[in-house]
Amino acid sequence: MDEKEKMLAGEIYDANYDEQLMKERLLAKDKCFEYNNIKPSQIEERKELMKKILGKTEKNFLIEQPFICDYGYNIKIGENFYSNHNLVILDANKVEFGDNVFIAPNCGFYTAGHPLDYETRNKGLEYAKPIKVGNNVWIGGNVVVLPGVTIGDNVVIGAGSVVTKDIPSNSVAVGNPCRVIKKI
């Protein structure tokens, strides 16, 4: 199994010295740089470039600048997707957003994690677990979603939350660590 296959399988892999992964990251970062430097008023040009960055998009979406990702091809967004400024998606594994997802400024979705054992971590090894966000989800400002988390449908995540575990559908969740405080 090569490093990319290990990455997508959620196994420990080497992202720092694998030529294929380094090239793919640099290509995505170059495209993000280009995207972030298009005039905000050039909405159609921005949309067309974003379709080249992301793995899958639907027809209606808007991602405010700046936007940063690692690979891009692991990200899928549903219909009527909106994210405000400073969205960061570290997509070493799949990151999927359903329909009608709204993301406030300064949010991060991080599939990558690092071993607790410092000797392994110091070798530059890491792992990546997928993130999934359901339909009709509103994510408040400055939210961080960690590796392996699934957020159900019809969920509101309060501003400043750190989502470390799955959040069930039809709920409001807040805090660090994020927890359900109310059913909808």
- Sequence-distant (6+) residues with CB within 8 A of 85 are 64, 65, 66, 105, 106
Place of tokens 């408040």: 140
3-state secondary structure 25-44: HHHHHHHHHHHHCCCCCCHH
At residue 70's C-alpha, the angle toward residues 1 and 30, to 5°, is 120
**Would you state the structure tokens that stand for residue 171, as one six-digit string?**
């709920």
Active-site hit among 4, 114, 123, 132: 114
- Concerning whether 114 is annotated as a catalytic residue, the answer is yes
CA-derived radius of gyration, the chain: 16
> Cβ distance 64 to 78 under 8 Å?
no
Q: Please identify every residue annotated as catalytic.
A: 114
